[in-house]
Structure 1
Amino acid sequence: MATVKDGERTAVPNLRARPARRPGPRRYTRRDRLVLGVLLGLPILLDLALIWGPTFASVGLSFTTWDGIGDIRWAGLKNYDHLFTGYPQFWPAVRHNLLWLAFLGLLAAPFGLLLAVLIDRGVRFSRFYQSTLYMPVVLSLAVVGFIAQLILSRDQGALNAVLGSKNPTDWLGDPGLNIWMVLLAACWRHTGYVMILYLAGLKSVDPGLKEAAALDGASARQTFFRVVLPTLRPVNVIVGVITVIESLRAFDIVYAVNNGRNGLELLSVLVTDNIIGEASRIGFGSALAVVLLLVSLGFIVTYLVQELRGERRR
């Protein structure tokens, strides 16, 4: 054993554990500030310049009369008064936008859900069906409009050629028919998008829920409506938002068919015709754009309120 001689001092080790230093706030160098400024500042500037700037400019110009060249003159609410009372194309355009929303929401969305359920059950050639039905989604609405012209044209359309009638139907020229034909073309594209969204949602459903429902004696229909469909609530919200956006921003397909006229008037087309068309009534076109903005905000605010209420309940 080691002995300690008299007069010798031994070092007593400090058994107390030193508290670890807590790292303070990181000090950013000048280079770090420069990188953050570029990465955050440029998107903010682009957002302000391309979105919020034109938005507030449109709101301000909606109370003026301006042709884009002369002086800007204050008009007050005259543009809105003329819009609601003296502009005959406005209310048909509003009706067509609402019809667009109802058609996509009540026909295309449920049909997309049905196709997703059938493909999810593992039918034969499901990959082929999935790719074929999704293919229209990669096409722009303008291309869909050109395809509609090739099929539905009065003189050289494929549909009239197949029907072989002596008096061919003017599917795109008749104001009583063209809106329905264009809506069918839009639904053809929208259905594939909805199908992919619901198919992704169905793949994420816990199989144990279906098995538990089957053990409780629930039929396949009851399992879907009472177990599977409630779990698809986030997908339902996304589909609803996309459907509203598609119905309000519809422009390409009707403009490709007949410049959005003769029964195909939409609010977006009226905005374009008044701002960059021959009339060049920027103040009046801005009033139309503000109305479209308010309608969009109505749906967005409703969606956000429902989402916040759902989060609180959870």
Structure 2
Amino acid sequence: MTVLEQAGAAASAPPRKRRRRRASAFTTADKLVLTVMLGVPSLLHLGLVWFPTLGSILLSFTEWDGIGGVEDIAFVGVQNYTDILTTYPRFWPALWNNLTWLVFLLVLPTMFGLFMAVLLDRKLRMGRIYQSVLYLPMMLSLALIGFIWQLIYQPDQGLLNNLLGTANDHPTNWLGDPDINLYAVLVAAGWRHAGYVMLLFLAGLKAVDPSLKEAAALDGATGWQTFWHVTLPALKPVNIVVLVITVIESLRAFDIVYIINKGRQGLELLSILVTDNIIGEASRIGWGSALAVVLLLISMGFIITYLMQTFRKEERP
């Protein structure tokens, strides 16, 4: 048989079925590592977040002083919520203060953080130094910030009254006056919040495609038109993150107020009321849990409403 005949016979012969062993994408060790890495954080999240949340919701329908066992817990239905809304004099001022806190952080510190991010994105001279200085307050805890601003707001020896020249002649009691102490604390909280927002917006600006800005410039768009029609829509994911963080920060504010005067004399917040009712002298676990649920519903209401509106706009042609 010639070489050509052998080649023809080989070509006409049916192909042999090769047994291919499908290599597994993950080995047993990889699966074990993934299970541990996903399972442990999930269990911790369920145990430290969701189970206590469900427990608070169940306790909000009960009356319990925290002493004794399960047999001492009395079911009262929605009575705690009714009493909080109708007979608890500290609830509505605290709710108003929380909403004021939220609006303030959404407007002034957020706008200032966005403004500084836009300036730093233009690669200013010594921009790294400015960025570090603005972000530095975020490295401090709210309790420490409250202590620092206590020194600034002191009536007699505080920095602010000395700069205004009123330290010796009718000094302003910035933290003791119920009419102005909330806004004084908001300045301190906004000082910390602005740096964090600036860093988030700056990261979002770095991800914007430069070709979009160049195309807008070629079309004759001004700097403001480019920012409003090109840059700002590209920051939509960052805007959602900033909104969620701002809502959480404003509604869980506790440290800075508690370190100043324990949430009294015009500085009442819902988080303070939760603490006072659960671990305070009254020790009303049901009331404190009901207040915590109200706080949860308010925060989820803002976030879910914004997300639904955002997704609806994206679905429209």
Shift of residue 312 of structure 1?
4.1
Q: Say whether the 8 Å CA contact 2:61–2:290 is kept in structure 1.
A: yes
Give percent identity, aligned residues only: 61
| Among candidates 189, 198, 201, match of residue 201 of structure 2 | 198
Q: Say whether the 8 Å CA contact 2:156–2:168 is kept in structure 1.
A: no
Moved more, 194-203 or 302-311: 302-311
Structure 1 residues 202, 294: CA separation in 2 closer, same or farther (over 3 Å shift)? same
Please list the CA deviations of residues 231-280 of structure 1 after superposition, one character each: whole Å capped at 9, or x if unmatched.
Answer: 11111111111111111111111111111111111111110111011111
User: What corresponds to 2:99 in structure 1?
Assistant: 98
Distance 2:34 2:194 in 1: 42
Distance 1:201 1:32 in 2: 34
User: What corresponds to 2:44 in structure 1?
Assistant: 46
User: What corresponds to 1:127 in structure 2?
Assistant: 128
In the TM superposition, 1:119-268 aligns within 5 A as: 119-162=120-163, 163=165, 164-268=167-271
Distance 1:73 1:49 in 2: 25
Distance 1:311 1:226 in 2: 16
In the TM superposition, 1:270-281 aligns within 5 A as: 270-281=273-284
Asked whether 1:18 is paired with 2:28, we answer: no
Please list the CA deviations of residues 82-102 of structure 1 after superposition, one character each: whole Å capped at 9, or x if unmatched.
Answer: 100111110011101110111
Please list the CA deviations of residues 56-103 of structure 1 after superposition, one character each: whole Å capped at 9, or x if unmatched.
Answer: 111111111111114111222221111001111100111011101110
Please list the CA deviations of residues 86-137 of structure 1 after superposition, one character each: whole Å capped at 9, or x if unmatched.
Answer: 1111001110111011101111111111111111122222111111001111
Distance 1:42 1:219 in 2: 52
Structure 1: which 5+ residue stretches go unaligned?
4-8
| Structure 1 residue matching 2:171: 3-state secondary structure | coil
Alignment size in residue pairs: 309
Moved more, 237-246 or 16-25: 16-25
Moved more, 303-312 or 207-216: 303-312
| Structure 2 residue matching 1:189: 3-state secondary structure | helix
Distance 2:241 2:130 in 1: 23
TM-score (norm 2): 0.88
Distance 1:280 1:231 in 2: 49
Moved more, 53-62 or 152-161: 152-161
User: What corresponds to 2:60 in structure 1?
Assistant: 62
| Structure 2 residue matching 1:185: 3-state secondary structure | helix
Structure 2: which 5+ residue stretches go unaligned?
none
The amino acid across from 1:113 in the alignment is L
Distance 2:35 2:109 in 1: 44
| Structure 2 residue matching 1:262: 3-state secondary structure | coil
User: What corresponds to 1:76 in structure 2?
Assistant: 77
Shift of residue 305 of structure 1?
2.7
Distance 1:19 1:235 in 2: 52
Moved more, 273-282 or 226-235: 226-235
The amino acid across from 1:16 in the alignment is P
- Cα RMSD between the aligned structures? 2.7
The amino acid across from 1:161 in the alignment is N
Q: Say whether the 8 Å CA contact 2:243–2:303 is kept in structure 1.
A: no
User: What corresponds to 1:6 in structure 2?
Assistant: none
| Structure 1 residue matching 2:221: 3-state secondary structure | coil
Structure 1 residues 17, 309: CA separation in 2 closer, same or farther (over 3 Å shift)? farther
Distance 1:296 1:287 in 2: 14
